Chain A
Amino acid sequence: MAQMNLVQAINDALRIEMKRDDRVVVMGEDVGRVGGVFRVTAGLWDEFGDDRVIDTPLSEGGILGTAIGMALYGLVPVPEIQFSDFIFPGYDQIVSELAKMRWRSGGEYAANMVIRTPVGGGIRGGLYHSQSPESLFIHVAGLKVVCPSNPHDAKGLLLASIRDPDPVLFFEPKRIYRAARGEVPEGDYTVDLSKASVVREVKESDAQKGRAVTILAWGAMLYEAISAAEQAAEQGIACEIVDLRTLWPLDVETIANSVKKTGRVIVVHEAPKTCGFGAELVALVNEHCFTSLEAPPVRVTGFDTPFPYTLEMDYLPLAHRILPAIVETARF
């Protein structure tokens, strides 16, 4: 076991997999000699060289288009998009090509690759260094979307993602790159994609008292949810928190079991409210848990505006916004 933060855990996963599988190629802007602007790929170029750790021109379309070609040929590229805000020039290659390659070729071809990219705000990055575009990818059939909240999950999920035969968007919550720390097993292990994790549990007996709330969260906001839950506990409200980890495909069963137990649910996400992933989660909750609902499902999210620079702490759905939602939902 070792104490690692998110950056170190991801770095560890990349190193392990590149050693294990010589098809794996890391590519992107500043990933090689610089080791990545967040140091996530530090040391890899020294160890594996130009052929496997590639500094590319500034062209997300070029990075992703050529990566797809590499994957068709049989390599396993792990391209990095430096900030998810810049993924859009490559969005066409992702949506039109990567997502549809297997389907349009009747399974003859597939592009197995993992696109790593930092997401989320809270680092004073402004409009173009803070976005969370997950719903734009979840909505595209053929893609998988992952967002770990802690080093242990990050390493295991990245290893699982690279080995997964389908294309994966691996979203790294940059706000907690260093702040998220924890025990991480050394060596090779995977975390199951499509399994959510209940990080804070409510006992059945507490749930029956009728003042329990399920919170669905992921990424950096998971910690805000935990903080809000601790404050809510002082008011006699019990919160069960589900860390989704893999956003798509979704572990609906874990979510449904929780909401059926508590009858109340809040979704927390940084992305803007309208057509954010919370909307899909609420729809699924309605489909699976309707007759258990004691209160309307609530979404605590970013506002339907671009991401602000100065007022980002007002924009983000932090604990001070989550707590009133918990209380109101519990008292409905």
Chain B
Amino acid sequence: MHAGPDPAISDEPPHAEGSAARAALSTGADAVALYRHMVALRLVSARMVDLQRSEKIAFHASCLGEEAVIAAAALAARPNDWVFPGAREWGAALVRGLPLANYMHHAFGSSADAAKGHSAPDHPPARAYRVAPASGVAGAHVPQAVGAAWAAKIKKEDVATIAIFGEGASSSGDFHNAVNFAGVFKPAVVFVCRNDGRERFASTRERAIAYGVASATVDGSDALAVLAVVRAALARAAEGKGATLVEAITHPIASGSPALARVPQEAWARGGVELLSLDHGANVDPIVRLRRVLESTQREKLLENGADEAIAREVRAAVDAAVSDAERAGPPAASTIFDDVYAEVPAHLRVQKESSPWRR
């Protein structure tokens, strides 16, 4: 019953040299893909923050500074695997292929939102990309990730699930139930916890031992390290060795941080490249660190000069287009309140739908 932590996974300390070594494990294509995804997440999130500030949207869960964990975990997933994000990991859907336009329509709750304006922003449905719909309840998705992996195991299908969540959710009863069940039934699930310093409670690693699952701690600002660890955990899971609890130490770049002080106000809306270097000497900005690896002379330069600007320009254009489309689309029809409560609209809802005087 007690799996014991896999020594290859549980004890790696995080440091830069280690990541260079691991960079060798990933391909150059992986690294560039990661970088593009992270830049996109950074600029999208900054734009969403700006939209919230100007009250065009009501809510945004910023992932500034934590792009590496989200992008790497999502990228590590194999095509048939499922990702179960929480509210702050909306980026996982984008990494797995959800078009930015879909995400934006959802954030605006527009008439083209797949969720028909039923959810607050950052819970985009993305079934085609095997991303589960996030819940508003912290941690609620974690046992569901276990259940889905369990179902795959019952059906003898080679599918794993990755649940991503913040340290706070790891205090929830749902987290306990999830890891408990995972320890007992050994489905192919990987738990990726962003230890973001927002809460200061027990260590993930200690918890993993208690539940009899493997654990790994990794520097959440080292994108390649995260990618390697999650891939390794997935491989273990696929071999039937059960779940791994990956703790990624992240450094979210919060609104008051000195790193942001130097960024001019309008860069948020403009998607300026200033946003891509939020380090301020602390060596925590994952984009800065991955860029350094990509530009380093230790290997072929994977990132040419001006590549940042080019990527940023591309992202900016996509975001602008998506925002303007979402704004123009307007809200959904009032009758959509009654859609999808049940598979078919039952009589009592039909009565409500037909009898209310609608404003439009």
User: A interface vs B, CB < 8 Å?
Assistant: 25, 51-52, 56-57, 59, 61-62, 65-75, 77, 89, 92-93, 96-97, 101-110, 141-142, 144, 164-166, 194, 249-250, 252
Contact = CB atoms under 8 A, between A and B. Distances in A.
Contacts of B149: 69
A110 B341 contact: no
B113 to A, nearest CB: 7
28 contacts: A57-B180, A59-B181, A61-B177, A62-B177, A62-B181, A68-B144, A69-B146, A69-B147, A69-B151, A72-B144, A72-B148, A73-B155, A74-B151, A93-B140, A96-B135, A97-B144, A103-B118, A103-B339, A104-B135, A105-B133, A106-B118, A106-B340, A108-B125, A108-B127, A109-B127, A194-B346, A249-B348, A250-B348
Interface string B166-209: 00000001100110110010000000000000000000000000
A72 B143 contact: no
Contact of B146 (A25, A66, A103, A249): A66
A246 B226 CA distance: 51
B181 A96 contact: no
Main SS at interface, chain B: mixed
B118 A62 contact: no
A92 B184 CA distance: 23
Contacts of A61: 143, 173-174, 177
Contact of B150 (A69, A108, A141): A69
B138 to A, nearest CB: 11
Contacts, number: 149
Interface string B128-167: 0000110111001011111111111011000101000000
Nearest to B113: A106
Contacts of B150: 66, 69-70
Interface of B: 82, 84, 113-116, 118-119, 123, 125-127, 132-133, 135-137, 140, 142-152, 154-155, 159, 161, 173-174, 177-178, 180-181, 184, 339-343, 346-348
Contacts of B126: 108
Contacts of B342: 102, 142, 144, 166, 249
Contacts of B146: 65-66, 69
Contacts of B348: 249-250, 252
Given A73-B148, A73-B159, A102-B341, 7 more contacts: A59-B177, A70-B147, A70-B150, A72-B132, A106-B118, A110-B343, A249-B348
